[in-house]
Amino acid sequence: MSEQEVDIAQQIIDELAPLKGVRVIAAMSGGVDSSVMAVLLKEAGLDVIGVFLNVWDYSRDEVSGHGSCCSLDDSYDARRVADHIGIPFYVMDMREEFRRNVIAPFVADYESGRTPNPCERCNRFVKFGALLDSADKLEAAYVATGHYVQRRDDGDGFHLFKGNDARKDQSYFLATTSKAQAERILFPVGGLEKDDTRRLAHYFQLPTADKHESQDICFIPAGDRIAFLKREGAQAGFRAGDIVDGEGRVLGRHQGIAHFTLGQRKGLGLPDGPWHVVALDGTTARVAVAHPEDAMIGGVDVGEVVWIRQPHAGEAVTAKVRYQMQPAACVLEYVDESLRVSFERPQKPSAPGQVAAFYAGDELLGGGIVSRVG
């Protein structure tokens, strides 16, 4: 590793130094990011306890879970890293919390026509909900993760910003984290580029230095969402129905709304395309489509809104309502119990159930869950 990379590691260690001796739970997923996070905390002199969250019983599946997030293999890798750097390590059984707060809503959303975001719910209810409760029992002041999000504390309190590596920024998935939760979370690798994280893993000779990243949803390691939903009993999502255009004309038939997400344009098999899915009705089992120019949206309604920092009067705010979307200029206005997000320019469609994240520049202000699109 170059002298520059050593300096990067030392800079992070120096920034963490004021917390020397403070107890922190390192949420270790078995991946390279959380492994580097844990070793940086240890090098800075914090009292680190490594914790792996067991959220899913892979013995239920026909696959081992290898290559997915939070699998049995990942638990083994996390323990190897903890042993290597010399910190205590525990596996916490979070399967009940995960099924109640992630799996059950995931299935219900696909039956009703919503498009869920399971990673967001896992962060909000399990990683930063149940895990912080466990931190209290262990008398830990903080929970630390390997998310690519930056935290900065100043005289006004703490602030969260996008990760320094734009390709890996994960602030979107923390937009619904409450202020009380976020105040107790540390993100030691948030200022790193992903390549630097991996080089630091080699520098510290971590067992996960060359480990590939997981891409699948942790509880669907084979990537077959439809098979999972059927196995979980999501019958309402597999009722046959009509595919209609904006004027209600029937263009085709389908085998269940669970096969679709709002904004989808591939695999529709309709004439006179291209088409985008613009509405899913869990009551009538109808799928509505529109041509791209008619599928653009002017805004969304957002519920379950939380603020890490509320925007100042007149402050320029942007929002993203899909993970791959670039934040777009918008106006926020409360209407009844929902927050109306009106974009200055039409955007590609989002879907009810997705996260709406609000920003002021690179600062994450907060977010909520999209309840209505259009």
Three-class secondary structure assignment of the chain:
CCHHHHHHHHHHHHHHHHHCCCEEEEECCCCHHHHHHHHHHHHCCCEEEEEEEECCCHHHCCCCCCCCCCCHHHHHHHHHHHHHHCCCEEEEECHHHHHHHHHHHHHHHHHHCCCCCHHHHHHHHHHHHHHHHHHHHCCCCEEECCCCEEEEEECCEEEEEECCCCCCCCHHHHCCCCHHHHCCEECCCCCCCHHHHHHHHHHCCCCCCCCCCCCCCCCCCCCCHHHHHHHCCCHHHHCCEEEECCCCCEEEEECCHHHCCCCCCCCCCCCCCCCEEEEEECCCCEEEEECHHHHCEEEEEEEEEEECCCCCCCCCEEEECCCCCCCEEEEEEEECCEEEEEEEEEECCCCCCCEEEEEECCEEEEEEEEEEEC
pLDDT of residue 63 exceeding 70, the answer is no
The two beta strands, 250-254 and 89-93, are unpaired
pTM of the prediction? 0.91
Given this model, what pLDDT does residue 33 score?
96
Look at the block and give the residue holding tokens 């609000």: 358
Given this model, what pLDDT does residue 213 score?
79
Taking the C-alpha atoms of residue 279 and residue 113, their distance in angstroms, rounded to an integer, is 8
Look at 34 and 64; give whichever has higher pLDDT: 34
> Span 198-225, mean pLDDT?
86
**What is the band of 1 on the pLDDT scale with cuts at 50, 70, 90?**
low
pLDDT of residue 248 exceeding 60, the answer is yes
pLDDT of residue 60 exceeding 60, the answer is no
Question: Which position among 69, 70, 218, 330 bears the catalytic label?
Answer: 218
CA proximity to 340, closest of 356, 359, 323, 364: 356
Are residues 12 and 40 in contact, defined by beta-carbon separation less than 8 angstroms?
A: yes
Taking the C-alpha atoms of residue 79 and residue 35, their distance in angstroms, rounded to an integer, is 10
Are residues 338 and 301 in contact, defined by beta-carbon separation less than 8 angstroms?
A: yes
> Span 93-115, mean pLDDT?
94
CATH for the stretch 3-146+188-203: 3.40.50.620
**What is the band of 67 on the pLDDT scale with cuts at 50, 70, 90?**
very low
pLDDT of residue 6 exceeding 70, the answer is yes
Question: Which position among 69, 119, 122, 330 bears the catalytic label?
Answer: 122
- In the residue annotation, 69 being an active-site residue is answered as no
Least confident span in 45-59, 101-115, 297-311: 45-59
pLDDT tens-place string over residues 256-288:
999 998 888 888 989 988 999 999 999 999 999
Residue 43: other Cβ atoms inside 10 A: 18
- In the residue annotation, 122 being an active-site residue is answered as yes
pLDDT tens-place string over residues 129-143:
888 998 999 999 999
The pLDDT > 70 percentage for the chain reads 94
pLDDT of residue 62 exceeding 50, the answer is no
Given this model, what pLDDT does residue 344 score?
97
Provide the residue ranges of all domains of the chain, joining segments of one domain with +.
Answer: 3-146+188-203, 239-294, 296-373
> Span 210-229, mean pLDDT?
82
Taking the C-alpha atoms of residue 310 and residue 364, their distance in angstroms, rounded to an integer, is 10
For the chain, give the mean pLDDT: 91
> Span 165-170, mean pLDDT?
93
Quote the tokens at residue 343: 């974009």
Are residues 184 and 135 in contact, defined by beta-carbon separation less than 8 angstroms?
A: yes
> Span 308-326, mean pLDDT?
94
pLDDT of residue 175 exceeding 90, the answer is yes
> Span 88-100, mean pLDDT?
94
- CATH domain 296-373 topology: Elongation Factor Tu (Ef-tu); domain 3 (2.40.30)
239-294 belongs to which homologous superfamily?
Adenine nucleotide alpha hydrolases-like domains (2.30.30.280)
Contacts of 326 (CB under 8 A, 6+ apart): 320
Look at 313 and 71; give whichever has higher pLDDT: 313
Residue 179: other Cβ atoms inside 10 A: 15
